[in-house]
Amino acid sequence: MYNKVVMEEKVRLSYLFDMYGNLLKPAQRDLFERFVFYDFSLSEIADEEGTSRQAVHEKIKRIVASLENYEDGLLLLEKDERIKDIVSDIRENLAGACGLDKDRVDMLLESLLEVL
C-alpha cells in the first residue's frame, strides 16, 4: 500500500511540475527532476551537492510547497482533470446518441484536448 501511495504522489507531483515547473528556478527544477523523475535518493543528491540529506529534504519540501501554492492559486491541474472528465463523458455518449462516427468523434476530442 505504501508504494502505491508514494507512486500516486509522484504522479501528482509530475503533473504539478508539468504545469508549473517553468516557474521554478533552474536549480529547483534540476533538484526536483533528479528526485522525482530520475528517482535519486536524498543521500545521492546530498553527496552530489556536498550537503546533508536533511538539507536536500528541506529543499524538496519547499519546492513541493511552491508547486502546491501555484496550484492552489491557479487551479490548472484541477481544471485539466475536469476537462478530461468532460471530454471522456462526451466521448462515451456523443457518438452513440447522435449516430456519429466514433473514430471521428475521438479524433475531434483529442484535437480539442491538445488545444486546451
DSSP string, 20-76: HGGGS-HHHHHHHIIIIIS---HHHHHHHHTS-HHHHHHHHHHHHHHHHHHHHHH-H
- The reported pTM is 0.78
Please give the share of the chain, as a percent, with pLDDT higher than 70.
92
Looking at per-residue pLDDT, the higher value among 15 and 5 belongs to 15
Question: Residue 4 — pLDDT band, cuts 50, 70, 90?
Answer: confident
Q: What is the pLDDT of residues 59-93, one digit of tens each?
A: 999 999 999 999 999 999 999 888 888 888 887 77
Q: How high is the pLDDT of residue 108?
A: 80
User: Per residue in 95-115, pLDDT tens?
Assistant: 666 667 777 778 888 887 777
